[in-house]
Amino acid sequence: MTLRIAVALEDASFAAADWIDAVRQADRARLDFVTFDDRFGRQGPDAVLVAARVAPLTRHVGLIPVATTTHTEPFHLSTSLATLDHVSRGRAGWQVRVSADPAEAALLGRREPLGADELLAEAADAVEVVRRLWDSWEDDAIIKDVATGRFIDRDKLHYIDFDGTYFSVKGPSIVPRPPQGQPVVAALTHGPQAWERLDVDVYFVTPADVSSAAGFVRRIPAGKLVFADIVAFLDADQEAAIRRRGATTSDAAVFAGTPAELADLIAGWQPAGIAGIRLRPGGPGDLATITADLVPELRRRGLFEPSTATTLRERLGLPAAVNRYQEAARA
């Protein structure tokens, strides 16, 4: 079984051309998806808007922006991410993030930061609201009946009527159901607090070696996809890559060496049962080395095979998303 390969993008550039060039590199290499980093206190463009900008200019790669649930209304998250799925024709995802930073809370001025448990509880509610709103339109709700003047079958729009500790949302959404039904939801996790609370499809984990990677796979609930993060400094000469790495530290494993050596490491981690690898380029030139040199090496070894699927859910082998309200009506 081959691995899935993704790349994490982080840049403060407001130049659309910079983002377009980076994502097109990943698209040409037929990577499974890219993630776009974002934080309230980060200088740089909004990740969801960046993903929407590059979506029409790419054909294959999945687009997963970070969107923070803290201080953000889930209704707005659902509409922007559903729109991204329409614009990308079914290649959208969402990386959930929380914020405990007082400085980020001060930017919005709405409230004091919550504790860790409350942040995750709020995020869990936000994910539930967003998922319900994505289901609030049935797939065939739009009828465009010129003879009767009816554009929408109102019986196929549903109130979600969510009333929780942090949100009260009636619905339905103002955006039709996304092409995937449910865009792919992901989260970075370092421990069980996230995977015991959040209803996501993909977990990004930060193992130090194959043993800790296998430990994550054993502990995370079955049916969830586990991607291991690696920070990659790549060069044709190992010593040059090590010099560039310098004293870099990260929550994830930091690799410095040649593409062939990184392919050796990835091959060694494959038996852990991970679904794939998310590479975090260590420097500006590392994305080009990943797409031009590492990916062909992984393909040569049979570790990576580009998918022919058209949607991100299909590409990751996730089941078709069933509309909860449509199923309830049938029952």
- Separation of alpha carbons 178 and 78, rounded Å: 10
Domain for residue 136, yes or no? Answer: no
- Separation of alpha carbons 96 and 49, rounded Å: 16
More confident residue, 303 or 106: 303
Q: Which pLDDT value is given to residue 109?
A: 84
- Separation of alpha carbons 283 and 299, rounded Å: 23
Query: In the predicted model, is pLDDT for residue 29 greater than 70?
Result: yes
Beta bridge partners of 145: 150
**Distant-in-sequence, close-in-space partners of 206: CB < 8 Å, separation ≥ 6:** 188, 190, 228, 229, 250, 251, 252, 253
**163 DSSP assignment:** E
Cα-based distances in Å from 164 to 120, 126, 134, 156? 14, 10, 18, 24
Reported as a single tens digit per residue, the pLDDT across 179-228 is 999 999 999 999 999 999 999 999 999 999 999 999 999 999 999 999 99
Domain for residue 169, yes or no? Answer: no
- Separation of alpha carbons 263 and 274, rounded Å: 15
Query: In the predicted model, is pLDDT for residue 331 greater than 70?
Result: no
Reported as a single tens digit per residue, the pLDDT across 138-150 is 998 888 777 777 7
Confidence class of residue 8 from pLDDT cuts 50, 70 and 90?
Answer: very high
φ, ψ of residue 209 to 5 degrees: the values are -160, 180
Secondary structure of residue 294 in the 3-state scheme: helix
Query: In the predicted model, is pLDDT for residue 174 greater than 90?
Result: yes
CA 264, 1, 299, 305 dihedral sign is negative
The domain total for the chain is 1
Q: Which pLDDT value is given to residue 315?
A: 97
Cα-based distances in Å from 223 to 220, 294, 311, 314? 9, 28, 19, 14
- CATH code of residue 191: 3.20.20.30
Domain for residue 302, yes or no? Answer: yes
Domain that holds residue 185: 4-111+181-330
Domain for residue 230, yes or no? Answer: yes
Domain for residue 163, yes or no? Answer: no
Q: Which pLDDT value is given to residue 234?
A: 98
Domain for residue 233, yes or no? Answer: yes
Q: Which pLDDT value is given to residue 154?
A: 86
Reported as a single tens digit per residue, the pLDDT across 262-284 is 999 999 999 999 999 999 999 98
Domain for residue 275, yes or no? Answer: yes
Query: In the predicted model, is pLDDT for residue 329 greater than 70?
Result: no
**80 DSSP assignment:** H
Domain for residue 161, yes or no? Answer: no
More confident residue, 176 or 1: 176
Mean pLDDT of the region 155-161: 93
CB distance 315 to 266 below 8 Å: no
The percent of residues above 90 in pLDDT, for the chain, comes to 87
